[in-house]
Amino acid sequence: MRLRQLFFVRLMIGLIAFVMPVMPALAETSSATAKLTQALKEEGINIIFIRHALAPGYGDPEDFDLSDCSTQRNLNDTGIRQAQALGRELKKAITEAQRPLTAILSSQWCRCQDTAREMALGPVDTFAGLNSFFQDHADRDTTLAMLEDKKASLGADDLVVMVTHQVVISAATSLSTSSGGLVLHNTRTGVSTGLALVAID
């Protein structure tokens, strides 16, 4: 009997040790999802900019080819899991706020398309107005002009997810975000708000 009690105590200690580090991350994600839901309900958000999920490295290789994913910096396993978690939390917020998505747009870069598809929120269309002009792989002025035209075409009831790159988000909103980070944007007021929805594990 004493051995059984000792075993049970050790088992509980082990479970607590395993669960405790996870609880703050879960609480943090839950709080961020609630903030997103509230923003969608009350702040007139009609664009959700998302920086692509984790893709280790810097820029793209010298042999970069937009049509060949093997020549690009791509999501790793952590980035894939992050994108999937983003999709789950976004779906919760969008459903709770009763704000169905109008469109899901992605940069033509593979890491952005993969992020958008792993989120599994619906059909994904590529849009050159979200392409990266870092390393001059796209023309900055042309890209941003396309993005501005797209923004101007959106109405108050639209809600578009745009998966893109840090340089594009910074140029469009004057905010920076980490991999998988969100920037919520209201095209009528020009107000942007950064939000970290899912922590990288």
At residue 90, what are phi and psi to the nearest 5 degrees?
-65, -40
pLDDT in tens, 98-119: 999 999 999 999 999 999 999 9
In angstroms, the CA 109 to CA 65 distance is: 9
Query: Is 44 exposed, middle or buried, given 0-12, 13-18 or 19+ CB atoms closer than 10 A?
Result: middle
Number of structural domains (the chain) is 1
pLDDT in tens, 113-153: 999 999 999 999 999 999 999 999 999 999 999 999 999 99
Q: What's the chain's average pLDDT?
A: 89
In a domain, 201, yes or no: no
Q: What is the pLDDT of residue 4?
A: 52
In angstroms, the CA 160 to CA 162 distance is: 6
Strands (E), the chain: 47-51, 103-106, 125-126, 160-164, 182-185, 192-195
Task: Give me the CATH number covering residue 175.
Answer: 3.40.50.1240
In a domain, 66, yes or no: yes
In angstroms, the CA 37 to CA 95 distance is: 9
The three-class DSSP label of residue 80 is helix
Contact at 8 Å (CB) between 152 and 171?
A: no
Strands (E), 47-121: 47-51, 103-106
In a domain, 89, yes or no: yes
Mean pLDDT of the 162-183 span: 97
Longest Cα–Cα distance of the chain, Å, equals 76
- With tokens 């988000």, the residue in question is 169
For residue 31, what are its two tokens?
């709080």
Residue span of the structural domain in which 112 resides: 2-195
Q: What is the pLDDT of residue 82?
A: 97
Read off the pLDDT band of 13 (50, 70, 90): very low
